[in-house]
Each structure stands twice: as C-alpha cells, then as structure tokens.
Amino acid sequence: MAIKQISVFLENRPGMLDAMTKVLADAGITLRALSLAETKDFGIVRMIVDDVYETATVLKDHDYISSRTPVVAVQIPDVVGGLHKVLTALTAANVNLEYMYSTLAGSGSGNAYMILRVEDTKKAEEALRAAGFTLVEEFPE
C-alpha cells in the first residue's frame, strides 16, 4: 500500500522552485504534499501528487532530474500524542524512520497525515496497521 513520492533535484537559486511548480501547474498536476530540503548548492523537493506517471513524464520533458520512492502515508488523529503513538509503533517494530513530513490534504476530516520514508515499508505498514492506524493510498481532493 506504499504510495510513490517524487523527488526533484533543483539548483539552490532564486526562481527554481517557482519554475518547477509552474510546469506542474500548467500540466494540471495537483500537489498533495510537499517538502523542501536544501544544501548550499541544490535542493530536493519531495512531493506527493495526484498522478505520479504524468508528473514524472512532465518533469522529464522539461529536463528536471527526478526519482520515485515508496513512502508510507498514515492518518493520525489530531489529538495530543498522535504522532508519538505512530513513532512508538515504528520503534516497537524496529523500523528506522529516515524522514517525514505532513500534509494538509484531506484535513477537513479532523485528522493529520504524515508521509514517512522508512527502510522497510512493508514492516512499517504492518506495525502501523497492528497499532490501529489507517494507511492512505491517495488523498481526497
């Protein structure tokens, strides 16, 4: 049930993210979640989109370097300690969390959503389901 995240490598200079998001907007791609990490010379945009194949094609057609990575999307009740319970389930299953970010997609439901990059997606999914969490395959519009 892992979903695909697209990572795009961009030069770290003004206007690069703007140009990439314009390409996606012009192609009708909807961003569901986004994270930006940077170093001095380049940035990595990690995103969840409504159409992974179309996004990858559009990016390639516009000479962007990108990759696809499986990630786990988990619904977390918007209550105190909600994230802690997710992390406890992963720790108990000895699953290493590489990075995570949140999204507002579907936020009208009273839940938060976290995108998790882990070493072993199947093991993480099993641990989270066993702890009573709902995994997300796609986000509502």
Query: What is the average pLDDT across 58-62?
Result: 97
Query: What is the average pLDDT across 30-56?
Result: 91
Q: Confidence band (pLDDT; 50, 70, 90) for 82? A: confident
From residue 64, how far is each of 16, 19, 55, 67, 130 by CA, in Å?
A: 11, 11, 11, 10, 39
Distance, CA of 47 to CA of 33 (rounded, Å):
5
Q: Give the chain's domains with CATH numbers.
A: 3-69 (3.30.2130.10), 71-135 (3.30.70.260)
Q: What would the two tokens of residue 37 be?
A: 């990490």
**Residues of the chain with pLDDT > 90: what percent?**
71
Residue pair 117/128 in contact by the 8 Å Cβ criterion: no
Length of the chain: 141
Q: What is the pTM of this model?
A: 0.86
Instruction: Say which residues have a Cβ less than 8 Å from residue 79's Cβ, sequence separation at least 6.
Output: none
